[in-house]
Amino acid sequence: MTAALKAAILFLAVLATLSSVRAEAGKRADLIEALTRLARQTHIEILFDERLAIGKAAGIDRPRAGPEQRLAALLTGTGLSFRRTAGGAYLVFAAAVGPRGASPAPPEEPIAEILVIGQRTLNADIRRSADDIQPYAIFDRTEIDRSQSATADEFLRARLPQNAQSTSLNQMPHMGGASVRSEVDMRGLGTEQTLVLVNGRRMPSVPGIGDFLQSDISAIPITGIDRVETIGTTAAGIFGIGATGGAVNIVTKSEFEGVELVARSSIAQQGDAAGRALSGHIGYTSRGGHTRLSVRASRTDDGGLAFGDRSYIKDARQLRIKRDPSSFLPVSGSINIQTSRTQTLELLPSFGGKALNGSTTFLPFNAPAVGAGGAAVLVANAGRLDSSSAPDGQGDLASLVTPSRMTSLLATLRQDIGSHAAIFIDYLRLVSAGRSSIGAVAQGQTTLGPGEGGNPFQQIISVTFPTPGLVGHVRNRTTTDRLMIGTIVELGNGWTSSLDAATGRAEVTTATDGSLIASRGINFFQDGAAIASQLSAAGYGRVSETRATDRLRDVNLKIAGSPLRLPAGPASVTITGELREDRSPGEVDQRNAIFPFPPSTTSYSSQRFRVGSAFAEARVPLVADDSHLAALRGLEFQFALRQDFYELKVPLEATLLQAAGVYGSSVTARGSVTALTAGLRVTPVSGVMLRASFASGYTPPTPSQIAPVGTVTYDSIIDDPKRGGLHPGSTNQTVYLLGGSPNLRPQRARTLSIGAVLRPGFAPGFRLSIDDSFLKTTHEITDYALGDFQYFVDREDSFPGRITRAPPTPADIASGYSVGPITRVDASYLTDGQSSLQVVDAAFDYARETAVGKFQVYGRFAWQPTLKRRGIPNAPAFNMANSFNGPLALRGNAGIDWSRDAWSAGMNIQGYGSYRITYAYQPGSSSASSFEAANASRLLEQGALHIPAQFYVDGYVGFRSGSFSSSSHAPAISYRLGVRNLLGTRAPVVVPPLAGASDEVGYSTLGDARGRQFILEIATRF
């Protein structure tokens, strides 16, 4: 039994013992705290303006009663009342309407938070619930704060099981180019199919080379997040393009009055990987409540790790060399030498001509030159390689975890205009910057012939070499700005409208410093001082610098209200229209290269993506919760329809195609897609809610997928089987297309979800949800025959429109040909791919008050046994789940929190199932043989098919003095000491797929290379 499991059992045993203690009754509490506690214990949404509850005491709670009875009891004597909305939330309002700002009467239906309780938050989306018709996962402020996560990206990877992203960019300092931006990948379908929103609105896309990438939220401070709403199924019918795999909505805090400062410091057990964070929040509300201002700023620093700080790289190298010594040539502290595994190294006669016992050897950097005694060292080390880490940017000094700095500024101003309108301004600026250390050379390995570059052997050899003290650097900075201005108008009779316009920008700059060393001119078989002198003589400086920008323009109009009241409650309707444009003016690649490459500047052309959308969502409660039709109690329908019109325009870089008149200076892809969402929920038995939903969605092609590449030539590239095997290029000019195509259709997705939510009456405060979802995508863009011209010519009848011919001439007919010569072959992307997956999501929560404090036990799990993909028509599908390049089949987390008066404590266990070390791949594809060879190599080097299951335990204890409620104006301070990876569990060593400093990680990135970390957080409010 693992230590993690023992700890979990111990906590559960304590809970079981304490749950038998009867809860305290008859104690009156602060109304705001009582309502917040009730919402947490009963898992219901309670919406209220804190100004209504300031200074009021709650009525006496009735812990054994139902949620509505308990809410009514708490509001007794407060002058407040409540009602349940069509969305399932409970809206608290003043029983008697008073002056605006003192006791505002809410509209009939809280359709969207920005429309109804805009004073509380600027979330422009409809407020979603964990008990909604679709299976949303909701994280509240308490759960987010107690997670001890440093960033939003870290929180979503650790606490959201639907997020299949197994590796963050800061764990790939080299391949990630020092980027520390966020990535969320629902179900393993790809980040481009998960939509990320902030306060219900889109952010500028991160510009990539030829594509618009997922928006970056990494710099949003954890202390600035009010709640996170997520859905791990197709949601394009609700949120639009980009949500075929799911969506994440980050709702920031804005309801605040006073000053709050939060300081956080962390350090690993080894004394490294230091982290610091500081955030401040200022909130102001005018006397009448008509003006509200909220400003939050933060800075987070992470010291990262170097290869030499942990033994993962060394352990992975030793494992590889032990099991397959000829598979790779490590860069180490020595000159490592290798020839073909079928050969034996043999010194040149001038160095004694001795044959070595093996195909490998090494020469320590401080050894004498080969001609001065070094030859004997080579003989003594025959058959071995040095696996130590080099004392430079290729080894000990290289980044294992990217050091980073993140800053943010979030500001919101809301001003009431009269009694029925308000205007607001919302500004957000996020900056995430990383700086990774890399090898100072572009080529750490070279090949030498006999006698070349001092090669003392009679064989051709490969050589790797250290560059002591030389370190290159990559700096990456992602900056995101968004300014939104809008107005909210109450139209009367429960209807509200909003109009907002946003402009934003995302910019990515990357700079690389290093050296392009002409390694073939260096004699590596001299003594170390001579080699170091040659290395230092090589140029060093700025190698390249790139800058890419995306600009966002987004206008939204929303009208929401209740068109009619039904016996079961008010029906609600939300109608929105949107016009949006993402435009990238281009990327600049400026290279200040060292000799022998001259400086150059390359500018990439711009691209544009426009979308016009119309959306309507209706919620209709048909049967009341207390209806005599028991089997249909609580029956409610949801229906949403969305129409998106898109236009994607990119420049044509293929000048030959322009000259031939195949395309103009740019290509454009246009289309319209319709997505729908429909579902229902019903409570046929008290405490048992059943729900089911269907959703569809679409993903248009990306800029790189519609940009054609090709040539126009007379060369004989193909044989024409319909013309006796003639080469068309020998008789006429032929256009050959590959790469993208503006004719590609959007990818389609459909999801069916069925689930149940249980709240048994015999266990007040307990909630369990289980949802089974089936998702299928079709018309996926695939590249299995990309550029294979003969493939399409041989299957001309199976791919209509891919082969274009000239009319047959009389000479053709006389020769017996029924078709003319080929003039065009289109071997661009196809849309024949498809995927399907099944997933079961489960979540439980149990809150209980006892004589010794409040306890809450919770857990979230996702079981995804399949992600079947097929990229070739009529080929068998292959399952990516639990493979090295696919999503985990099982992941989740569970925990327990306790609080009493000023004290709190908690523990959380994150669990990840085992997975295969091998790749999943498409049988029958052109790359199948390469994957087979790679898998055989990985099995040999790792020595096991599976990486074992992993469990990591976090814990914390906290203390606060004073109240952090908005109803209290007295100074308050809180302390929290936490430990990440409490048991010091070490991530499994994983032999990397490729060898070399730019590719190595050395451990399972489901874990954290930093190991056990200690975290101290101090917050004060006044």
Question: Residue 295: which of 181, 158, 408, 182 has the closest Cα?
Answer: 408
8 Å CB contact between 949 and 882: no
Give the pLDDT score at 504.
96
- Residue 50 backbone dihedrals phi, psi, to 5 degrees: -60, -20
Question: Residue 310: which of 369, 233, 398, 380 has the closest Cα?
Answer: 398
Does a structural domain hold residue 55? Answer: yes
8 Å CB contact between 608 and 649: yes
Give the pLDDT score at 733.
81
Judge whether residue 177 has pLDDT over 50: yes
Judge whether residue 536 has pLDDT over 90: no
8 Å CB contact between 873 and 931: no
Give the pLDDT score at 124.
57
Question: Which has more confidence, 590 or 468?
Answer: 468
Could you tell me if residue 183 is left (phi over 0), alpha (psi between -120 and 50 degrees) or otherwise beta? beta
Mean pLDDT calculated for residue range 365-389? 91
Does a structural domain hold residue 70? Answer: yes
CATH for 81? 3.55.50.30
Helix %, strand %, coil % of the chain (to 5):
15, 45, 40
Judge whether residue 690 has pLDDT over 90: yes
Does a structural domain hold residue 381? Answer: no
Does a structural domain hold residue 65? Answer: yes
pLDDT (tens digit per residue) in 612-657: 999 999 999 999 888 889 899 999 999 999 999 999 998 887 777 8
Q: What is the C-alpha separation between 671 and 645, in angstroms, rounded?
A: 6
8 Å CB contact between 223 and 923: no
Q: What is the C-alpha separation between 867 and 882, in angstroms, rounded?
A: 9
Give the pLDDT score at 438.
87
Question: Is 385 buried (19+), middle (13-18) or exposed (0-12) by CB count in 10 A?
Answer: buried
Judge whether residue 969 has pLDDT over 60: no
Judge whether residue 730 has pLDDT over 50: yes
- Six-digit token string for 960: 């606060």
8 Å CB contact between 714 and 726: no
Q: Say what percent of the chain tops pLDDT 90.
A: 53
The set of residues, in sequence order, having a beta carbon less than 8 Å from that of 691 and lying 6+ positions away, is: 132, 133, 134, 135, 679, 680, 681, 682, 753, 754, 755, 756, 757, 771
8 Å CB contact between 837 and 867: yes
Task: Report the 10 Å Cβ neighbour count for 493.
Answer: 10
Q: What is the C-alpha separation between 963 and 956, in angstroms, rounded?
A: 20
Q: What is the C-alpha separation between 440 and 442, in angstroms, rounded?
A: 7
pLDDT (tens digit per residue) in 290-322: 899 999 999 999 999 999 999 998 898 888 888
Question: Which has more confidence, 423 or 110?
Answer: 423
3 state DSSP class of 880:
coil
Mean pLDDT calculated for residue range 779-794? 89
Reported confidence tier of residue 538, pLDDT bands at 50, 70, 90: low
Q: Which of 110-114, 962-966, 986-990 has the lowest mean pLDDT?
A: 110-114
Looking from the CA of 670 toward its CB, the CA atoms found within 13 Å total 2
DSSP state of 266: E
Question: Which has more confidence, 763 or 515?
Answer: 763
DSSP state of 126: B
Question: Which has more confidence, 297 or 76?
Answer: 297
8 Å CB contact between 885 and 938: no
pLDDT (tens digit per residue) in 95-134: 644 333 333 333 333 334 333 333 344 555 667 888 899 9
Q: Give me the chain's average pLDDT, please.
A: 85
Does a structural domain hold residue 979? Answer: no
* Domain region containing 78: 28-95
Is residue 585 reached through a cis peptide bond, with omega within 30 degrees of 0 on the bond before it? no
Does a structural domain hold residue 641? Answer: no
Give the pLDDT score at 845.
93
Q: Which pTM value belongs to this model?
A: 0.86
pLDDT (tens digit per residue) in 222-250: 999 999 999 999 999 899 999 999 999 99
Q: What is the C-alpha separation between 23 and 850, in angstroms, rounded?
A: 5
Over its C-alpha atoms, the chain yields an Rg (Å, rounded) of: 32
Give the pLDDT score at 481.
97
DSSP state of 517: -
Question: Which has more confidence, 551 or 388?
Answer: 551
Q: What is the C-alpha separation between 975 and 958, in angstroms, rounded?
A: 5
Report the domain count for the chain: 1
Question: Residue 328: which of 870, 1000, 921, 789 has the closest Cα?
Answer: 1000
- Inter-CA distances, 228 with 36, 401, 686, 861, Å: 17, 26, 29, 17
What length is written for the chain? 1022
Judge whether residue 519 has pLDDT over 50: yes
Does a structural domain hold residue 780? Answer: no
Give the pLDDT score at 27.
44
- Inter-CA distances, 831 with 219, 740, 870, Å: 36, 11, 11
DSSP state of 160: -
The set of residues, in sequence order, having a beta carbon less than 8 Å from that of 791 and lying 6+ positions away, is: 785, 827
Q: Say what percent of the chain tops pLDDT 70.
A: 87
Question: Residue 553: which of 204, 211, 214 has the closest Cα?
Answer: 204
Does a structural domain hold residue 905? Answer: no
Which residue has 């990515």 as its token pair? 508
Question: Which has more confidence, 719 or 83?
Answer: 719
The set of residues, in sequence order, having a beta carbon less than 8 Å from that of 921 and lying 6+ positions away, is: 878, 927, 928, 931
SS (H, E, C) 373-404: CHHHHHHHCCCCCCCCCCCCCCCCCCEEECCE
DSSP state of 634: T
Q: Beta strand pairing status for 258-268 and 1013-1021?
A: antiparallel
8 Å CB contact between 778 and 832: no
- Beta bridge partners, 540, equal none
Mean pLDDT calculated for residue range 855-877? 94
Give the pLDDT score at 129.
85
Mean pLDDT calculated for residue range 349-372? 91
Give the pLDDT score at 515.
60
